[in-house]
């Protein structure tokens, strides 16, 4: 599932067996080859991380 939203693409990815991992990808020509079912590398900057309480 790839959803074009103008400045970015939103998709769900399977990460560690969880199919509900939502990814926001900047819309650029380097991502033009993104295809459903393709393997991708996922990462983020430390400044973008937030710890969540698992009990909430």
Evaluate if residue 13 carries a pLDDT over 80.
yes
CA distance 48 to 56: 20
Give the integer Cα–Cα distance in Å for 10 and 1: 8
Based on the number of CB atoms within 10 Å of its own CB, is 12 exposed (0-12), middle (13-18) or buried (19 or more)?
A: middle
- pTM recorded for the entire structure: 0.58
pLDDT tens per residue, range 26-50: 887 666 677 778 888 888 889 988 8
Distance (Å, whole) CA 55 – CA 30: 39
- Tokens for 30? 């380097």
Residue with tokens 């900047």: 26
Domain ranges of the chain: 1-30
């Amino acid at each position: 599932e790839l959803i074009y939203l103008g400045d970015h693409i939103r998709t769900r990815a399977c990460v560690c067996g969880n199919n509900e991992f939502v990814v926001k990808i900047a819309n650029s020509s380097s991502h033009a080859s993104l295809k459903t079912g393709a393997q991708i590398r996922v990462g983020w900057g430390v400044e973008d991380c937030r710890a969540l309480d698992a009990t909430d």
